[in-house]
Amino acid sequence: MGLSVKNLQLRYGKKEILRDLSFDVNEGEILALFGPSGVGKTSLLKMIAGIQPVDKNTICFTESFSQESTVLVFQDFWLFPHMNVVENIAFGLKARKFSREIIQQKIDKILEVFDLEGLEMQFPDQLSGGQKQRVALARAIVLEPKLLLLDEPFANLDNHLKSAMRDYLRRLQESYRFSIILVTHDRDEALQLADRMIILLDGKIQQIGEPKEIYFHPKNRKVAETIGEANFISGTVNNTLFRTEKFKLAVQNPDNIKGEALLYLPYGAEITIRQEGAGVPAFITSSDWTPNGQRAQIKVGETSCTFTNLSQKIAIGEQVFLDFSEPLQVMNR
């Protein structure tokens, strides 16, 4: 473990922003803080970085972690407009009073790693968005942080550059083995990069877990809706058997709900399509091609659902049976 946050609070006047936040960050881990804008994610990064006050003993660094080895990169890069690429990258090294020789060695290496050779004398207004992002990250990583705090790092890039920079960041992290806390409200970014995600809603942590766990097994309806790929079917549950007027199904019932409940069906649920036999009866209403595969609208009982991970192509107007590879989860309405 490298960072421990315990019972952290944040208030602006009478308004409570964050309450009783507790989580750990492990060495070499990418942890995504995921939630809508305005829930206090950036303020949390500032508190960890030491530029916003916190109550004593709520943020503790352990082992080789420290506030001095923690670096924050803001969404808008904050490059100095009057400094060229080399001067921007060298700024933190000079502030920490490294020798001129050491600074030059570090600069030469980081320019190569970040593919910035040939841009040394360029100023920020001469750089593309992706180049500015690489300079901002280079300026942070040249300090060899143990913990890198990233505040919506790719929000200002187009989709093509976002994808490339995410891959780039993952390769850098694997090479340098620093830990990352990534603030984002981009679900795909969190799912792609994070080892674990923290779902932050209504001022508190709703769930912490691996991306796949949170996607397929959200703790509650708020988390499922925040992830944004949720189908819900109303019915009743008794132990691990869910019933509607049209079908019954074995399910996971971690909260031991009895009576009225919602069946959660994520878009990406792995489904085998059967023409007859066991399974949930369904009717195909539409199917569209996407770069990630077919996206189907399927009526299950009286509910229209969206699915993206079907075992085979389907035809509009078909009556089929859906066989789910893993038990689905029920939750409170």
Please report, rounded to a whole number, the percentage of residues in the chain having pLDDT higher than 90: 65
Mean pLDDT value across residues 64-75: 89
306 Cβ partners below 8 Å, 6+ apart? 229, 231, 267, 295, 296, 297, 298
Residue-wise pLDDT for 137-149, tens only, equals 899 999 989 999 9
CATH number at residue 14: 3.40.50.300
Domain boundary pick from 188, 213, 238: 213
Number of domains composing the chain = 2
Domain end call among 164, 185, 213: 213
Residue 219 lies in a domain: no
Q: Please say if the pLDDT value at position 278 is more than 80.
A: no
Q: Residue 257: which domain range?
A: 229-331
The pTM is what?
Answer: 0.89
* Residue 231, pLDDT score: 96
DSSP 260-284: EEEEEEETT--EEEESSSSSEEEEE
Beta bridge pairs of residue 95 = none
Q: For residues 136 and 81, what is the distance between their CA atoms, to the nearest angstrom?
A: 12
pLDDT digits 0-9 by tens, 227-244: 989 999 999 999 999 999
Instruction: Give the pair of three-digit tokens for residue 101.
Output: 């020789």
Residue 292 reports pLDDT greater than 90: no
Q: Please indicate, yes or no, whether residues 158 and 239 belong to a single structural domain of this protein.
A: no
pLDDT band at 276, cuts 50/70/90? confident
Q: Are residues 307 and 172 in the same domain?
A: no
What pLDDT score was predicted for residue 22? 95
